[in-house]
Structure 1
């Protein structure tokens, strides 16, 4: 048996500390999404009591030293290398929202498909803190995506403003699909199916404009 060097043992311990890659959760089918959408309750959004991000605990420890963010970065990237603290030091990612590729984990947000404030105003304000924490760290539903959802200044400096980059100029924020869908047209159907999947699982409401937008997009899938 070949003896392992001290350096190899350290490397082995680092590798073993990284989360096992998971498959990105798949949204329900178009047919099921239509059924789920019909079952969602339509209600006016309410921000009483007022939303506070602190009511959604981020990020949970998932495995070893790896938290939810680090687990998603590992899951959604390729050739991802992490250090002993589970921080991604290198890798390759392509944002599904705009098709932009990066090798820097710092370029990526872990986006909540259904934003935390949107969840709050559509029902999560009445949940326990434990349920809000589970929602904010949900790796089972298609709720967490490593993507670029904010303005990419470097990209805009080298690409003239057009229909796509104009969309990129607006942060997703807490917008629902009546106001925001990913600028990459080929991903819109997946995004809408994911939105409906999450809202249905958590029995969140939809407002009238949101319901109309979801209906339009899912019918076009």
Structure 2
């Protein structure tokens, strides 16, 4: 547990939506293609058209990629507050484009992602209460994977929610 500090945070400190594997498809497109429940068509330089995605935060299907945001499970500002402020630019880029664990980035409705903003589970939870355990698991995995701290309110919320998720097993591979 540690206090958080947003001093010096700028979203641009986390270079995101890069094409890490140089296949012409940036991180946003990679997540969209991986999570589509009805595959979109892809044209040109990975222009995505059509398709359907399930936004689990509110248990709804979204048609077309334009209605989606790719959510950083632990928002960039929250990561900064929790330890990423001491990372190198490359480590922050790796975090912002983490395709090494499917729980790090998730396609959700733009509306729900924007209501979340930079808030942690002490301040915001998905609107579908049936997804609480999944959300808490994914949050905990990303924090653990990247060695990020939790502030006291966040830690209390995670512990309280975990009590109702006793059947959830959490495993992850450390990223750094």
Higher normalized contact order (CA 8 Å, seq sep 6+, divided by chain length): 1
CA distance in 1, matches of 2:40, 2:22: 16
Identify the residue that residue 51 of structure 1 maps to in structure 2: 9
Identify the residue that residue 91 of structure 2 maps to in structure 1: 131
Q: How does 1:1-221 map to 2 (within 5 A)?
A: 42-48=1-7, 50-61=8-19, 62-77=21-36, 78-141=38-101, 142-150=103-111, 171-221=115-165
2:83–2:149 CA contact under 8 A, matched in 1: yes
Deviation of 1:180 after TM superposition, in Å, equals: 0.7
Superposed CA offset, 1:143-197 (max 9, x none): 100001526xxxxxxxxxxxxxxxx9x7101000001111111211111111111
TM-score (norm 2): 0.87
The structure with the greater share of residues assigned to helix is 1
Aligned structure 1 segments of 4 or more residues deviating by more than 4 angstroms: none
Structure 2 unaligned segments of length 5 or more: list them.
Answer: 166-176
Larger Rg: 1
The number of equivalent residue pairs is 162
